[in-house]
Amino acid sequence: MALKSLDDLLSEGVSGRYVLVRSDLNVPLDGATITDDGRVRAALPTIERLADAGAKVVVTAHLGRPKGTPDEKYSLRPVAARLGELLGSEVPLAGDVVGEQAKAVTGSLADGQVALLENVRFDPRETSKDEGERAALARDLAALVPGAAFVSDGFGVVHRKQASVYDVARVLPAYAGGLVLAELDVLAKLTGDPQRPYAVVLGGSKVSDKLAVIEALLPKVDRLLVGGGMCFTFLAAQGHGVGSSLLETDMVDTCKRLLGEAGGKLLLPVDVVAADSFAADAATRTVAATEIEDGWMGLDIGPESTTAFAAAIGNAETIFWNGPMGVFEMAPFAEGTRGVAQAIADSGAFSVVGGGDSAAAVRLLGLPEDGFSHISTGGGASLEYLEGKELPGVAVLSEGA
């Protein structure tokens, strides 16, 4: 797939020209405090390159899931402040998406300056299923930046057919940003001819969220390690009781089928850290994965499982990890995720962390980011790519290439 790149745009010259950049700045917040600025830092190189080349850079992004109307708790104000700190110059935030404040902020931009539009999901047209509504927002965005080029650099949203991701690329000359290209390059290595053994580590809450990627990867991988809340549906499929652990009863038969198809590739926990309630101060005990008592819930893989997972990881040459092994945000249930992540970092393999909670865990647990070959900014987009799905926000970039 031929895509025009950021390098192509820069070679054409952008000094004095507007460039609309779709970034992924969907950071976790505690009130108005950013708890993990990884996505802001990942967006920085493309924005800096454009600003350094003299472009008038207008960034559009979303935060959370507001219901198509302004909501202060989803304002990008903390993001604008952090972006300004990282750039070393103030980043003005427009108080609306495409209204009078957006027009005033973009109209007053100097060459080499960066501005941020307010949360694009405050406009209901952004996520509308109606193509006409989305196209209208795309035209309004384009009207803010006359003569602009569009740079798609929000990999975490390229699997969405949304106005600021897809439709605007049909209105303005469109280019793939450096972050999007880097993500696609890494994922192509996983789907092409990866170095073997190839191990995939999946966690998170639900089998249903990962079913399509499990089915797509099972024939291609050498080992599939399953932890997190999703492992209990597999354990139930083997006939074991799982107490009060997370269980998708409607997925048990599917897990039985997958276990049959796996042919020994699929590795499940042999022990778990169980608790009598979902709380950091709950009573805990480590038990065999087949002996979880009624009223107790598994909230992390246990030490024997962590050792077994680490051994499988240590033999791999290629590793993809998506989803924590337990409720890592609570200290009593963080060690499985820490142990698995450390094993990946120590493996020397080509390793990809598939965004979302896994990337947050790396940073929250204080693990060295350079211990991994690549930390993705887009968990959902990564999974859909590995499933073999077309990513609309990428496909549209090739239309004019």
Count other C-beta atoms under 10 Å from residue 330's C-beta.
Answer: 16
210 is known to lie in a ligand binding site: yes
Beta bridge mates, 224: 200, 266
Q: CB-based contacts of 336: which residues, under 8 Å, 6+ apart?
A: 227, 273, 300, 301, 302, 305, 306, 324, 325, 326, 328
363 is known to lie in a ligand binding site: no
CA 256 to chain centre: 29
Q: CA separation (Å) from 62 to 22, 164, 347?
A: 9, 9, 35
Write down the residue that tokens 């609570």 correspond to. 330
The helix or strand, by DSSP H or E, that contains position 50, with its residue range, turns out to be helix 38-52
391 close to 3: Cβ distance less than 8 angstroms:
no
63 is known to lie in a ligand binding site: yes
38 is known to lie in a ligand binding site: no
From the list 22, 39, 56, 134, the catalytic residue is 39
64 is known to lie in a ligand binding site: yes
49 is known to lie in a ligand binding site: no
- How far apart CA 377 and CA 46 sit, in angstroms, is 14
DSSP 291: -
From the list 206, 256, 265, 389, the catalytic residue is 206
240 is known to lie in a ligand binding site: no
Verify whether residue 356 is a known catalytic residue: yes
From the list 154, 204, 326, 356, the catalytic residue is 356
26 is known to lie in a ligand binding site: yes
298 is known to lie in a ligand binding site: yes
Q: Is 260 exposed, middle or buried (0-12, 13-18, 19+ CB in 10 A)?
A: exposed
358 is known to lie in a ligand binding site: yes
Q: Which two tokens stand for residue 52?
A: 């350094």
25 is known to lie in a ligand binding site: yes
356 is known to lie in a ligand binding site: yes
Verify whether residue 206 is a known catalytic residue: yes
24 is known to lie in a ligand binding site: yes
Residue positions annotated with a catalytic role: 39, 206, 356, 380
- For the annotated binding site for substrate, the residues are 24-26, 39, 62-65, 121, 160
- For the annotated binding site for (2R)-3-phosphoglycerate, the residues are 39, 121, 160
- For the annotated binding site for ATP, the residues are 210, 298, 329, 355-358
- For the annotated binding site, the residues are 24-26, 39, 62-65, 121, 160, 210, 298, 329, 355-358
